[in-house]
Amino acid sequence: MKIVVLGSGNIATHLAKALYASQHNISQIYSRTLANAQALANVVNSQATTELRAINIDADLYIIAVSDSAISSIATELPKPNHGIVIHTSGATQMEVLSKFDKYGVIYPPQSINKEIETNLSLIPFGIEGNNAEVFNVLFTVVQNIAPKSFACTSKQRLTLHLSAVIANNFSNALYQVAEELLAKENLDFELLKPIILETALKVQDHSPTITQTGPARRGDYNTINKHLEFLIQSPEQHKIYQILTDFIIKRYRN
């Protein structure tokens, strides 16, 4: 399959490499910065360009792997292909942003991906959408070859998956920052929490988070909860976060 990748960032890099390794022809890499386009193009034996008007309209697949805010403008400027499918990789952007094209869809990986870090795409469940059954089948076949856990999803399911990934990944990391700051104030190293963080992550691989929940809020240990809240009284934001999450857990396990 002849593929054009629009973008040179994290997802674009991993997809281009994986598809190239699967014997697809990555014919062009587009980026607003020529050096970035060229760097990725060199890896996948492709042509680099910074001009959307120079994009080959005879490709089979066009992957728009850029920031959410840039998808619409690229879709607007991208020449209409002769027969190819145009897709984006966003979790929160409507598929219909690509509706000017005859064939369009989405492949969304719910994963934090960094182009500087090796990532095994075969472990990532890509959510796949197409504007019709033919498009879906083509996308599913292509993506399953590099990511066998891929599955069909609707736009609402994709948005739900993206929201859930933000809560599970980004929000938990924000809480790690809170914990790190609390420890630092008492000259304690964040390394001390890494074993329990790892244990929690491992537990939910085999059990529902509802079952694995522990802690004072789960037990209804108000004596400990009040000590924690008193400790945080001089840190209003952290106090609020603790109170909201504690109330949530208490209500969930009240009975």
The closest of 93, 229, 89 to 147, measured between CA atoms, is: 89
Q: Which domain holds residue 196?
A: 157-252
Q: State residue 26 phi and psi, 5-degree precision.
A: -85, 95
Q: CA-based Rg of the chain, rounded to a whole angstrom?
A: 22
Same domain, 35 and 132: yes
184 and 70 share a domain? Answer: no
Q: Are residues 33 and 110 in the same domain?
A: yes
Residue 1 · residue 142 · CB < 8 Å: yes
Contact 20, 45 (CB under 8 A): yes
Residues in contact with 33: Cβ distance below 8 Å, sequence separation at least 6, in sequence order? 8, 50
Instruction: Report which secondary-structure segment, H or E, holds 76.
Output: helix 68-77
Residues 87 and 142 occupy one common structural domain: yes
Is the model's pLDDT at 255 over the cut of 80?
Answer: no
Last residue of a domain, one of 125, 153, 181: 153
Q: pLDDT value at position 18?
A: 96
Tell which of 119, 153, 187 closes a domain: 153
- 171 and 213 in a single domain? The answer is yes
pLDDT tens digits, 31-58: 999 999 999 999 999 999 999 999 999 9
- 147 and 240, same structural domain? no
User: How many structural domains compose the chain?
Assistant: 2
Tens digits of residue pLDDT in 234-254: 999 999 999 999 999 999 998
Q: Of 142, 146, 141, 106, nearest to 123 (Cα)?
A: 146
Could you report the per-residue pLDDT of 124-169, keeping only the tens digit for each?
999 999 999 999 999 999 999 999 999 999 999 999 999 999 999 9
Q: Look up the CATH number of the domain holding residue 92.
A: 3.40.50.720
Both 35 and 130 in a single domain?
yes
Judgement on whether residues 114 and 199 belong to the same structural domain of the protein: no
- Mean pLDDT for all residues in the chain: 96
What CATH number is attached to the domain comprising 238? Answer: 1.10.1040.20
Final residue before a domain boundary, out of 153, 168, 184: 153
Residues 149 and 161 in one domain: no
What was the pLDDT predicted at 206? 95
Mark whether 33 and 107 lie in a shared domain.
Answer: yes
Q: Do 127 and 164 share a domain, yes or no? A: no
Instruction: Identify whether residues 163 and 145 lie together within a single domain.
Output: no
